């Protein structure tokens, strides 16, 4: 089996070069169709968040943010307790103090919402799935190999990501790839196939090129330009584009002023086949995806009156 070509769900460890058939994405209480584009709302309980600066540290504010995200059209909420970049060391106990109460409360408030937790630690993963999380967003590419075992044992889904070999909370420095897209595809599809062999359902695995992680701005732009190559693997593609540094550097703008750049990149990613969109600005992202879906012909307009009255 080629590292860039995952086998089908019917034969997850077999030989051959068949692409993975496109199918529904099944995460806990929800099954998302092959043409359904899903917003994953970001809710971080981190006082040093690069964008909101700790707006959701208080539990009540975090829950209010989840409620708004649901009202604005999110199908998944991604809860984080540790800043992705450099910062004060946060151990597993403190991470759990931040994320576990949110998971438990959100499961009661929104029974049909998919709860994702942004963690690389199997210790954290084990406890959050027990409280109702159904997706483990491992943005650090298997730094803790036992996290996949937690997903397999619990029935949770998992995000397979790419960091170019960097460990958790490490910023890139002069990263080089012969072909960044080929490297990403090889890494994430190999990880996805490994997850299937461990017992994770193929319908609950998502791949993420992981813009900015282990990459400079040129790399992230090329990934955005060639995202259809990741979609062609058949695995559902998640993109985390929201207000990221590659957008800021492209437009020379701070995080607070990157919405238009984010939405432009989102529209292109949607057109090229991405299915899950991690976003701070849920309502705007949802509207962009609905417009792309209507142009693509996979969903109807919400109303049609012009020229028909």
Over the stretch 148-187, which tens digit does the pLDDT of each residue have?
Answer: 999 999 999 999 999 998 989 888 888 999 999 999 999 9
Domain boundaries, the chain: 36-296
Catalytic residue list contains 215: no
Greatest mean pLDDT among 5-14, 81-90, 224-233 lies in 224-233
pLDDT of 87 strictly over 90: no
Reported pTM: 0.90
Please give the average per-residue pLDDT across 23-42, as a whole number.
96
CA dihedral 210, 215, 217, 220 (to 10 degrees): -40
Are 68 and 39 within 8 A, CB to CB? no
pLDDT of 8 strictly over 70: no
Integer Cα distance of 110 and 234 in angstroms? 30
pLDDT band at residue 19 under the 50/70/90 scheme? low
Residues 36-296, CATH architecture: Alpha-Beta Barrel (3.20)
User: Of residues 243, 258, 278, 286, which has the active-site annotation?
Assistant: 278
pLDDT of 75 strictly over 50: yes
Average pLDDT, the chain: 91
Integer Cα distance of 87 and 72 in angstroms? 31
Integer Cα distance of 231 and 308 in angstroms? 37
Catalytic residue list contains 244: yes
User: Of residues 98, 127, 215, 244, which has the active-site annotation?
Assistant: 244
Exposed/middle/buried for 300, CB within 10 Å: 0-12, 13-18, 19+?
A: exposed
């Amino acid at each position: 089996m080629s590292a860039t070509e995952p086998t089908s769900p019917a034969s997850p460890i077999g030989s051959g070069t068949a692409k993975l058939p496109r199918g529904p994405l099944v995460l806990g209480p929800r099954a998302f169709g092959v043409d359904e584009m899903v917003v994953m709302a970001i809710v971080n309980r981190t006082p040093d968040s690069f964008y909101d600066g700790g707006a959701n540290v208080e539990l009540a504010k975090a829950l209010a943010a989840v409620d708004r995200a649901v009202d604005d059209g999110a199908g998944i909420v991604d809860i984080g307790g540790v800043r992705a970049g450099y910062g004060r060391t946060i151990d597993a106990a403190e991470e759990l103090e931040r994320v576990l109460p949110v998971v438990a409360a959100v499961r009661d408030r929104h029974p049909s919402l998919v709860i994702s937790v942004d963690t690389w630690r199997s210790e954290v993963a084990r406890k959050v799935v027990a409280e109702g999380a159904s997706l483990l967003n491992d943005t650090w590419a298997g730094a803790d190999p036992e996290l996949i075992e937690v997903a397999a044992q619990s029935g949770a889904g998992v995000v397979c990501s790419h960091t170019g070999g960097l460990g958790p909370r490490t910023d890139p420095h002069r990263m080089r790839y012969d072909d960044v897209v080929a490297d990403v595809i090889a890494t994430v599809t190999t990880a996805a196939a490994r997850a299937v062999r461990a017992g994770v359902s193929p319908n609950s695995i998502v791949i993420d090129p992981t813009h900015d992680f282990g990459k400079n701005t040129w790399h992230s732009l090329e990934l955005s330009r060639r995202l259809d190559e990741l979609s062609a693997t058949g695995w559902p593609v998640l993109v985390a584009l929201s207000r990221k540094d590659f957008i800021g550097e492209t437009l020379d703008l701070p995080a607070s002023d990157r919405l238009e750049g984010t939405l432009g990149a989102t529209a292109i990613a949607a057109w090229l086949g991405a299915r899950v969109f991690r976003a701070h600005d849920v309502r705007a992202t949802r509207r962009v995806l609905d417009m792309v879906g209507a142009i693509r012909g996979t969903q109807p307009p919400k109303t049609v009156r012009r020229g028909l009255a």
